[in-house]
Amino acid sequence: MSFDHIYECLTQIPQNGAIMGLDLGTKTIGVAVSDIDQTVATGIKTINRIKFQTDLKELKFIIAHREIKGVILGLPKNMSGTEGPRCQSIRAFAKNMAPAIAIPISFWDERLSTVAAERSLLEANASRKKRSEVIDYVAAAFILQGALDRLSVLKRGRNFD
């Protein structure tokens, strides 16, 4: 099942358990995961896209192996906040993915996540080659960390007992 807003997804994701963040591009998928306390996002890999079923198989392996409890997809909105064709593509991916994984899927506004990832890699003096190898999963970590920070605020405002 997918939810348009993170707060709709909140009640469906257990308080403890890793969450996966995805930066879905046309050629690659950046993958990040959180710790089980859902506080810190870490980029783990970049998947070279082949076709949907192949990509899904690899994502399902990560979900099972890391016991993922929810998925956050970066939604590449325009700077004006409107949604273009890329957003439609991400939503279609989520719609097709949802029945196959049976865990909540939500979206996070990813505007400027790749810019932030690139900036942090430049500040770390990463070479151009290294930046190109890791940019997708670093961007996924930025996306997931934003969602985790928001979830943390929402959790403090709700009683889960």
What is the spatial distance between Cα 38 and Cα 149, in angstroms, rounded to a whole number? 9
pLDDT level of residue 161 (50, 70, 90 thresholds): very low
What is the spatial distance between Cα 97 and Cα 69, in angstroms, rounded to a whole number? 14
Higher pLDDT, 17 or 78: 17
Residue 105 placed within a domain: yes
pLDDT at residue 85, rounded to an integer: 80
| CA-based nearest residue to 49, from 57, 39, 61 | 57
Chain position carrying tokens 């996540």? 113
Mean per-residue pLDDT for 43-66? 96
Please name the helix (run of DSSP H) or strand (run of DSSP E) that holds residue 153, with its range, or none: helix 128-156
- Whichever domain contains 25, its CATH number is 3.30.420.140
pLDDT at residue 149, rounded to an integer: 85
Higher pLDDT, 108 or 60: 60
Segments forming the whole domain that contains residue 94? 2-155
pLDDT digits (tens, 9 = 90+) for 136-147: 788 899 899 988
Burial class (CB in 10 A: 0-12, 13-18, 19+), 5: exposed
Residue 161 placed within a domain: no
pLDDT digits (tens, 9 = 90+) for 67-121: 999 999 999 876 676 767 888 999 999 999 999 998 999 998 876 656 555 566 5
Weakest-pLDDT range from 6-10, 48-52, 100-104: 6-10
Number of domains the chain contains: 1
Mean pLDDT of all residues belonging to the chain: 81
Mean per-residue pLDDT for 9-22? 83
**Residue 41 reports pLDDT greater than 90:** yes
Residue 81 placed within a domain: yes
